[in-house]
Structure 1
Amino acid sequence: MAETNHSERRLFLGCFIALVATAFGFAVRGAVLSDWALQFGLSEEQKGILNGVGLAPFAISIILLSLVIDRIGYGWIMAVAFTGHFASSLLTIFAPNYQTLYIATFIFGLANGAVEAVINPVVATIYRNNKTHWLNVLHAGWPGGLVLGGLLSIAVFFGGTQLGDKLPGHLWQWQMGLLLPPIIAYGLLLLGQSFPQQERVEAGVSYRSMLEEFGWASAYIVSFLILMGISQFVSIFAEPGSAPLLTPKAGLVWAIAPAVLFGVFIHSFGRPMFVFLLVVMMLLATTELGTDGWIQDIMGSTLRDPVKGTMFLVYTSAIMFVLRFFAGPIVHRISPLGLLAVCAALATVGLYWLGHAGEAVFMLILAATVYAFGKTFFWPTTLGVVSEQYPKGGALLLNAISGVGMIFAGTIGSPAIGTVQDRNLAAAVEQALPETYPELATTTKGQFFDFQTIDKAKIAALPEATRTQVEGIQRETKQLALADIAVLPAIMCVCYLGLIMYFKSRGGYKAQVLAGHSADDGKFTGGVAGAMEA
C-alpha cells in the first residue's frame, strides 16, 4: 500500500463518502419510484427516464470538467458538487410535478459528475502504486451507499406507515430527506483540504498530449451521447406525443461535426483500445446501472412487495461492498481483464436466471447472488485498466470512460429497459387476451420509436378476473426483461476475451509508466515498464 499521511487519508475518506452520497440518491430514488408513478401518473418509459436522468448529466459534467479540472482546481469542483447536491435534494423534496423531478434529478446528476471528476484522478494519484485495487476500494462506496440508503429508506417507510396521517407531506419526501446527511458529511470532510497534483501534470505531460490520447474517435462517441442527453432534456418539456428532438440515427449524423472539428485541431484518432473500451462501457453501464435502476421496481412487482424489491438491491449491493475490498489479490492472480471476463460470464448467468426464476424467493436469491458477484468489479476495474494503460490521458480518459457509461445508461440503456417492458406487456396481453387488448392498447411516442403499449389507468377498470390476469402478465413480462439484458454481459465477455488474447500476443498485460520526466518512474505504477517506453 502506498504511504499516505493524515491529510491524504482524510481526503480519501471524503472522496469515499462523496461517492456514498451519489449512491444514496440512486437508491432512494429507486425506492420511491413507484410512489412517484402513482402521484404523477408516470408510464414505464417515464420511470425509466427518471431512473436514467441522474446518469446522463453526470457524463456531461464529468467529461467537460475533466478538460479544465487541472486548471480550475479539484477543491473548487468539489464545492460546485456540494452546492448542486444540496440544492437538488431540496428541489426534489418539494417537487410539484414530473418536470420538476426531472430538473432536480438532472442537477443531482451534474453534481455526481463533478464528484467523480475529482475522486477518480485523486485516488489514482494518491495510490499510484496500486491503482486498480484502491479504485475498487473507493468504489465500494457506491454499493455501500446503496445498502445504507436502501435500508434507511425502508426504515423511514415503515416508520412513516406507522405514523400514517400524523406525518406531514408525502412519505417519499421524508425518504428523499435521507440524501442530506452524507452530502453534509463529505462537505465538512473536504472543507479546506489540499488536493494533490494529478499524475499527468506532475509528470510534465502536455495538455495537447492528453487530447491526442483521447482523439477524434472518442470525441465522436462522446458528442453523440451528449446530443442524445440534450434531446432527452428537451423532450421532457415538449408537448405530449411530440417527436423527440433527435433520434439515435440523427444523433449519429450530427455528432460528426464536433468530431471533425476536434480532429482538425488534434490530428489524432485516439488510442484504438480506449475507443473499444468506450463501446464496451456502454454495455457495462446498462448491465450494472441500468439493471440496478430497475431491480427494485421489477423485483417489487414480481414479489408483490416494494420493500422486498428494495431488499434485492440492498442484498446485491452488500455483496459488492464486501468484495471490492479484495480486488487487489484477485487482480494479481488473473489480471484486470481476466477479472472482467469472469465477471461478465457470471453476470450473464445471473441475469438470465433472475429473468426465469419465477416467484420462488430462494431461487431469486441464488440468481441475485450470481449476478452480484458478476457486476461487483465491472466499473472500478475498467477505471483501473484505463488508468494503468493510458496515464498520459490524465483525468480526461479516466473520467471519459465513466462519463460514457453513465450517459449511455441514462439516455439509452435505462429508458430502453422500460421500453422493452412496455412492448413485451402489450405483446403478451394481445396474445393472451385478444378481445380485451383493443380497449387497453394505446400508441406511445417513445424516445426511440412509436410502439403499442398498455394504458395502465385502464387496467383498474377491468373486471376483477381480467384485471388479475393482466397484472400477472405484467409481473411476468417485467421479470423477463432481466433475461433480455443478459445478452449484454455475454457480448462483453467475448470482448474481454479478445483483449486478453491481444495482450497475450504482446507479452501479457502490463501497467504503463510515464516516461520523460525527472521523477522516479517506479512511483507511478509500481515500476512495471510498458510499451510507451519503447
Structure 2
Amino acid sequence: MQSINRAQLFRASCLSLLVTSLSFGIRAGILNDQGVRFHLNASELGTIAATAFWGFPLAIIVGGFIVDIIGMKKLLVSAFVFHLVGILLTIFANGYWTLFLSTLLIGIANGTVEASCNPLVASLFTDNKTTKLNHFHLWFPAGIVIGTLLVFGLDSTLAHGVSPKPYWISQVEIAAMLIPTLIYGFLFSKLEFPVTERVAAGVSTKDMYKALINPLFLFMIICMFGTAITELFTNQWTDVLFKTVTDNAILILTFVASVQVLGRAFASPIVHKLAPQGVLLISAILSALGIYLMIHLHGDAIYFAAVVFGLGVAFFWPCMIGFVAENLPRTGAVGLNLMGGAGMFGVSIYMIFMGGYYDRIMAQKLPSGASLDAYRSAAGGTDMAKAFDAARSAAGPEVLNTTLIIPVVLIFAFAGLVIYMRSKNKTEPLKTAVV
C-alpha cells in the first residue's frame, strides 16, 4: 500500500483551492462584461454570482456528511469533474440560464474541494491546525490576485481601449482555469489519503453529532454568516460597486487579495500570540474600518482603504475554521464543513438581497419613471449614460454602508468570545496518529 505523503497532499490541496479562487477572481473581473454581453441587470447578475454560493454550501454540507463514508479522494475526483464541466459550460454560455447552470456547477466543485481539504489539512497537521489552515487558505486570495491580474492584463493588451471589450477575451480568461484544474485532477488521482482526524481518534458518529449542538459551535455558525459576507460579498462585487470610483476597479480586489496572501503566509506568530479568537476580534475591527474608508475615500486613496480592509478579512475564514478545529475537534469533518457551508449560504442570500437593493437605489437616483434598463444600455457620453453613472456612484456607497453594520456587530461578538475563552479551560486535543 502506498504511504501517505503529507507534503504532496498539501500541495495538491492548495492547487485545488487555487482553481476555486480563480473562479471567484476571474468571475469578479468579467461580471460586468457578462451583464453587457447578455443584457443582464444588477439583480440578474447578483443571482448568477450568488449561484456559486448556493452550490458551495450544498456541496460542502453534503460532502461533510459523506466524507468519512466514501473518503476524501473520491470527493476530490468529483470536484475535478464538476470544475471541468462548469468551466467549459461558462466558456460556451449563451445567456442567463447557461451562466446560471455553469456557475452552479463551479460552486458545487468549490464546495466539494472545501469539504475534502479542510478536514484533510486538519488531519495531516493535528499539532498546528490553524496555522496550516491559514497557509492552505492563502491560495484563495492568491488565486484572486492571479485571476484579477489576468483579467486586467488581457483586457489591457487585447481590448485596445474598445468598450465594451470583445466577449471572446472573457472566454479566454475563463479558459485559463482549465490548466490548474487538469493538474490537480491528475495529482489527486495518484495519491493515497488518510482517514479524517475524528475517525483516527475513534470518536463515534454519535458523539460527533452531539458535539454539533454545543452552544459555542452554534455561536460560531452565526458568526460565520457575518465574516463570510464581510469578505466575499465585498470582494465579489468590487467591479460593480467601484466602477465609477476608479477606472481600474478590479485592482481594488487585487490589493485586498494581495494583503490577504501576505497575512495568511505569516499567520503563525500572530495566531500563536493572540489565539484564533483574538485574531478574529482584530480582524472585525480592521474590516469595519476598511469598509468605512472605502466609502469615504476616492481616487488613489481607495487603495489604502483596500489594504486596511484586506488586513481585516485576511484571517476571517481560516481562523473561523481553525477555531472549530482546535476547540471543537469532536465535531469532525461535519463541523468544519457546516462552518464553510453556513458562510457561503449567508453570502448567497445576501447577494440576492443586495442585487435587488442596488437596483432599487439606482432607480431612485434616476429621473422619475425612467427605465433602468434603458439607462443601463445607453451609449457612453450621452446624458442618459452620465445619469446612469451618477446613479451608480450613489448606489455603491449605500450598499457598503449597509454592509458595514455586519463587521461592527462582529466586533462585539468576538470581544465576547475572547472574554469567554479566557475563562475556559484549554481544549484537550484528540489523540491521533498521522502517517
> TM-score normalised by the shorter chain: which range applies?
over 0.9
Pick aligned residue for 1:159 from 146, 157, 160: 157
Residue 183 and residue 463 in structure 1: after superposition, are their counterparts in 2 closer, same or farther (change >3 A)?
closer
Residue 458 and residue 64 in structure 1: after superposition, are their counterparts in 2 closer, same or farther (change >3 A)?
closer
Instruction: Calculate percent identity across the aligned residue pairs.
Output: 31
TM-score scaled by structure 1? 0.77
Displacement of 1:417? 2.6
Counterparts of 1:265-344 in structure 2, within 5 Å, are 270-303=213-246, 305=247, 308-344=248-284
Displacement of 1:45? 1.3
Provide the rounded CA distance (Å) in 2 between the counterparts of 1:178 and 1:301: 28
Moved more, 294-303 or 458-467: 458-467
Displacement of 1:162? 4.5
> Which amino acid is 2:223 matched to?
V
Pick aligned residue for 1:512 from 404, 428, 435: 428
Residue 173 and residue 209 in structure 1: after superposition, are their counterparts in 2 closer, same or farther (change >3 A)?
same
Displacement of 1:332? 1.6
Displacement of 1:461? 8.2
Provide the rounded CA distance (Å) in 1 between the counterparts of 2:277 and 2:161: 51
Provide the rounded CA distance (Å) in 1 between the counterparts of 2:80 and 2:89: 14
Counterparts of 1:493-504 in structure 2, within 5 Å, are 493-504=411-422
Provide the rounded CA distance (Å) in 1 between the counterparts of 2:154 and 2:346: 32
CA contact (8 A) 1:44 1:421 kept: yes
Larger radius of gyration: 1
Pick aligned residue for 1:183 from 181, 203, 214: 181
Map of 1:373 onto structure 2: 311
Map of 2:332 onto structure 1: 394
TM-score scaled by structure 2? 0.94
CA contact (8 A) 1:353 1:483 kept: no
Map of 1:404 onto structure 2: 342
> Which amino acid is 1:273 matched to?
L
Provide the rounded CA distance (Å) in 2 between the counterparts of 1:112 and 1:354: 29
Provide the rounded CA distance (Å) in 1 between the counterparts of 2:364 and 2:170: 33
CA contact (8 A) 2:211 2:330 kept: yes
Indicate the structure whose relative CO is greater, using CA pairs within 8 Å and at least 6 residues apart. 2
Displacement of 1:402? 0.4
Map of 1:112 onto structure 2: 110
Displacement of 1:22? 0.4
Map of 1:203 onto structure 2: 201
Q: How many residues in Structure 1 have an aligned counterpart in Structure 2? A: 432
Provide the rounded CA distance (Å) in 2 between the counterparts of 1:201 and 1:343: 33
> Which amino acid is 1:438 matched to?
G
Structure 2 alignment gaps of length 5 or more:
none
Map of 2:359 onto structure 1: 422
SS of the counterpart of 1:205?
coil
Structure 1 alignment gaps of length 5 or more:
215-269, 430-435, 441-453, 525-534
Provide the rounded CA distance (Å) in 2 between the counterparts of 1:458 and 1:55: 26
Pick aligned residue for 1:439 from 367, 370, 373: 370
Residue 364 and residue 300 in structure 1: after superposition, are their counterparts in 2 closer, same or farther (change >3 A)?
same
Superposed CA deviations along residues 409-451 of structure 1, whole A, max 9, x for unmatched, are: 12x122223233222223334xxxxxx31233xxxxxxxxxxx
Provide the rounded CA distance (Å) in 2 between the counterparts of 1:464 and 1:163: 19
Displacement of 1:302? 2.0
Map of 1:246 onto structure 2: none
Aligned CA-pair RMSD = 2.4
Counterparts of 1:18-417 in structure 2, within 5 Å, are 18-162=16-160, 170-214=168-212, 270-303=213-246, 305=247, 308-357=248-297, 359-361=298-300, 363-410=301-348, 412-417=349-354
Provide the rounded CA distance (Å) in 2 between the counterparts of 1:6 and 1:463: 61
Structure 1 stretches of 4+ moved >6 Å: none
Map of 1:224 onto structure 2: none
CA contact (8 A) 1:290 1:417 kept: no
Superposed CA deviations along residues 18-62 of structure 1, whole A, max 9, x for unmatched, are: 001000011111111111111111111111112211111111111
